[in-house]
Structure formats: structure tokens, C-alpha cells
């Protein structure tokens, strides 16, 4: 049976990390061969203490940034399957069995479809689109799994990317071998959409993604992201 490492990057997630970890503990209560690693990026709240109290292994990444934290967490993981999960996203019940089944079927990597915890029609439509076999709708909040050896072969996440690191690694994973979009859905928070306006945020994301694929530099993309999107993580 393949062992599984759940790796969660965290920066100031005190309001939600305990709930997520409690959910994961319940969902994996009968799953041997599993560990949960929280990779903290220098939180100024008590996220690390809360995660440790909830039973996760907490590692302190020397660099802030999702890609750097995910790589650092992977270096401390012992699982055959690495499962990268955002701190505001909840995988479906039975997800560990899904990951092991995908590996047994020959898939080296993959992700889930997406769902939001809000019923806005446009969010439902956006989530529906994640079932399509298109790179343009593959993002990290769908959660990503990959076999450890594949993660090592492709060199992990690119730490020079502060935005679009998820689509970049998915492109390399799909080029490397079979990539599966699992039939279930990860439920992620719509908070950022509600804070910024659903259509406004989607327009900003679309612009940033388009400019990334046209070759805009990371410093300019990051500056644009910070100007257009209300957030406190980047």
C-alpha cells in the first residue's frame, strides 16, 4: 500500500487551519500510512502552534512563497504519494483511496475537480469548467498529487515563480506522463472572490494568466497581482 504525505503551505491561516486539520483527521481515521505536514512560511500569527496542536508535523520553510514552502514540505515528507493541498481547501471523503487507486492505475500525477463553498452561479460555472481536459483550468486549489519519484524527476515546483507556479508544474507533469482529473471535487473557500467581487477577481485572474502565457516577467506579474487583488498572502 502506497504511503501518502499531505503537504499544506501556510501563512497566517490561524482562522482556518484547525478546522481543516480536524477534517483531515476524521477523513483519514482508518487510513494507515499517512502523514500531514504543514509548511509554514513565517506566519506572524499562531498558525504553526495551532497546526502542531492539531497533530500535524510543522516545518518552517526558510523562504516564504507557495512553491518554496511546498518543496520544503516535500523534502521532509516520507510518502510514496505527495498530495499538495491549500489551507482553505477540503478534499472529498475517501480521497486517500482515490490517490492510491490512481497510482495503481498507472497515473503519475493528477488533481481533483473544483467546487466552491458559495452558491454564486458564476462560481458554479467556473467550478464546472475544471472537469474539462484543459491546462488553462488547472490550478493549485484543485489540489495536486504526484508520485514522489516524478516530483523529484521534474525538479519540484519552480521557486522563482510567485504566481502561476501551479499551472507551470501541471504543464510539466502532463508532459511527463498520464495525468488524471479525479471525478470528485475539492471544496475551496470563495472568500477571496467575495472580498474582491466575483467578476472582478475572475477578470484579474484571467488577465494575469494571459500575461503569464505571453511571457510577462514575474516581478511585473506580482506587482499587477498586488495592485488588482485584495489579499495578504503574496
94, three cell numbers: 475517501
Give the residue numbers spanning the domain of 147: 4-190
Q: Report, as an integer, the average pLDDT of 14-21.
A: 96
For the CA atoms of 77, 80, 81, 85, what is the dihedral angle to 10 degrees? -10
82, three cell numbers: 505527495
pLDDT cut 70: percent of the chain above it: 99
pTM: 0.96
Q: Tell me, what's the pLDDT at 96?
A: 97
List b or e across 193-223, with b for residues whose CB sees 16 or more CB atoms inside 10 angstroms: beebebeebeebbeebbebbeeeeeeeebee
- We report the CATH number of the domain holding residue 123 as 3.90.550.10
Query: What gap in Å lies between CA 204 and CA 104, rounded to an integer?
Result: 39
Q: What is the pLDDT of residues 128-156, one digit of tens each?
A: 999 999 999 999 999 999 999 999 999 99
The answer to whether residue 234 sits within a structural domain is no
pLDDT surpassing 90 at residue 118: yes
Q: What is the pLDDT of residues 140-197, one digit of tens each?
A: 999 999 999 999 999 999 999 999 999 999 999 999 999 999 999 999 999 999 999 9
Torsions phi, psi for 217 (to 5 deg): -70, 155
The answer to whether residue 18 sits within a structural domain is yes
pLDDT surpassing 70 at residue 90: yes
Q: Tell me, what's the pLDDT at 230?
A: 83
Q: Are 37 and 52 in contact (CB under 8 A)?
A: no
59, three cell numbers: 516545518
The answer to whether residue 48 sits within a structural domain is yes
- What's the per-residue H, E or C state across 175-209? HHCCEEEEEEEEEECCHHHHHHCHHHHHHHHHHHH
The answer to whether residue 76 sits within a structural domain is yes
Q: Tell me, what's the pLDDT at 232?
A: 66
Helices 198-213, 218-228: inter-axial angle, 10-degree rounding:
170
The answer to whether residue 165 sits within a structural domain is yes
The answer to whether residue 78 sits within a structural domain is yes
The answer to whether residue 36 sits within a structural domain is yes
Helices 165-176, 66-75: inter-axial angle, 10-degree rounding:
50
pLDDT surpassing 70 at residue 94: yes
Q: What is the pLDDT of residues 39-75, one digit of tens each?
A: 999 999 999 999 999 999 999 999 999 999 999 999 9
The answer to whether residue 199 sits within a structural domain is no
Residue listed under C-alpha cell 464546472: 128
Provide the 3-class DSSP secondary structure of residue 221.
helix
Number of domains in the chain: 1
Amino acid at each position: 500500500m502506497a504511503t501518502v504525505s499531505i503537504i499544506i503551505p501556510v501563512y497566517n491561516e490561524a482562522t482556518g487551519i484547525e478546522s481543516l486539520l480536524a477534517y483531515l483527521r476524521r477523513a483519514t481515521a482508518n487510513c494507515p500510512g499517512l502523514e500531514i505536514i504543514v509548511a509554514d512560511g513565517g506566519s506572524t500569527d499562531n498558525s504553526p502552534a495551532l497546526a502542531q496542536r492539531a497533530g500535524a508535523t510543522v516545518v518552517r520553510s526558510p523562504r516564504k512563497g507557495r512553491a518554496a514552502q511546498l518543496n520544503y514540505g516535500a523534502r521532509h515528507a516520507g510518502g510514496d504519494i505527495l498530495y499538495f493541498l491549500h489551507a482553505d481547501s477540503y478534499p472529498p471523503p475517501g480521497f486517500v483511496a482515490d490517490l492510491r487507486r490512481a497510482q495503481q492505475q498507472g497515473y503519475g500525477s493528477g488533481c481533483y475537480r473544483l467546487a466552491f463553498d458559495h452558491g454564486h452561479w458564476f462560481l458554479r460555472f467556473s467550478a464546472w469548467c475544471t472537469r474539462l481536459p484543459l491546462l488553462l483550468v488547472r490550478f493549485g486549489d484543485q489540489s495536486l498529487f504526484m508520485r514522489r519519484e516524478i516530483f523529484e524527476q521534474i525538479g519540484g515546483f519552480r521557486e522563482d515563480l510567485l504566481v502561476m507556479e501551479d499551472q507551470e508544474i501541471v504543464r510539466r507533469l502532463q508532459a511527463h506522463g498520464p495525468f488524471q482529473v479525479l471525478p470528485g471535487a475539492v471544496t475551496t473557500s470563495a472568500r477571496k472572490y467575495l472580498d474582491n467581487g466575483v467578476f472582478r477577481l475572475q477578470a484579474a485572474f484571467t488577465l494575469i494568466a494571459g500575461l503569464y502565457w505571453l511571457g510577462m516577467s514575474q516581478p511585473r506579474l506580482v506587482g499587477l497581482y498586488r495592485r488588482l487583488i485584495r489579499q495578504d498572502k503574496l
